[in-house]
Amino acid sequence: MEMTGEVRIPASRDVVWSALNNPAVLKACIPGCEELTARSETDMAAVVAIRIGPVSSRFNCAVRLSELDAPHGYRLTGEGQGGVAGHARGEATVRLMADGAETVLSYTFSAQVGGKLAQLGSRLVDATAKTLSSVFFKNLAKQVEIRQQGEPSNSPEAAAPAAKELTATPPLQPARTMPARPAAASARGMAAAALIVAIVSAVLTWSSLGAPTAMTGAPAPVPVSAEFNAAVQLLIVLAVGYLLGRSNAVSRDTH
């Protein structure tokens, strides 16, 4: 699976980086993160537990950061193990560019899966990955605007417009956050990971509930398998380490 994209965030690059390094993001966004551990300056580990309907899974991920160019870009490689669901291996690169008062973030991502994950249709996985990246940038834009307005990140009224994406995506159900245990990693790294983990609930809630029906307006179930949910979760765990590693690199550069 391969994916590329670009998004414009209505804030300066410094403000965007500040949001990714704010511990309050963890409290406001992270659902089901049990551990975030920095094993070294470039190696990270994460454990995330997620429940969607009758399906609950725990994923372990190891991630390594390389080609550091903070705050302009980075490369990430990672591997996740999901037990009987299978495993995934992937890498990503990100570029962050200032454009006046706004920030343009471009990214590429590729992944290979094995075990039961390899039996899933590529169209289904690709479509979900694109939706996932869209929700991530919406959450990022919301957190940035909250901080610019000086509102608490966990305020029920703290809803902000999404980033101006190049490709429109359908509206998704909001994620229901879950309390997270104290993490062993630095607060900055955990806050960065919180943003991407928040996407998990939004995407998986969308895949579980589906779109409203014409007759009742109630969500209609989308026929996705437990293996599909596991695949999405596993890809997200890779993304957790991806942002966690980037945040750790920024922290080293600023100190």
pLDDT digits (tens, 9 = 90+) for 91-111: 888 787 999 989 887 888 887
- Using only C-alpha atoms, the chain has a radius of gyration, in whole angstroms, of 17
User: Residue 40 class from Cβ within 10 Å (0-12 exposed, 13-18 middle, 19+ buried)?
Assistant: exposed
Q: CATH number for 2-254: choose from 3.90.1570.10, 1.10.645.10, 3.30.530.20, 3.20.20.70.
A: 3.30.530.20
Query: Which position has the higher pLDDT, 150 or 218?
Result: 150
The percent of residues above 70 in pLDDT, for the chain, comes to 36
- Tell me what the pLDDT averaged over the chain comes to: 61
Task: Give me the mean pLDDT over the 60-83 stretch.
Answer: 77
The model carries a pTM of 0.50
Query: Which position has the higher pLDDT, 255 or 217?
Result: 255
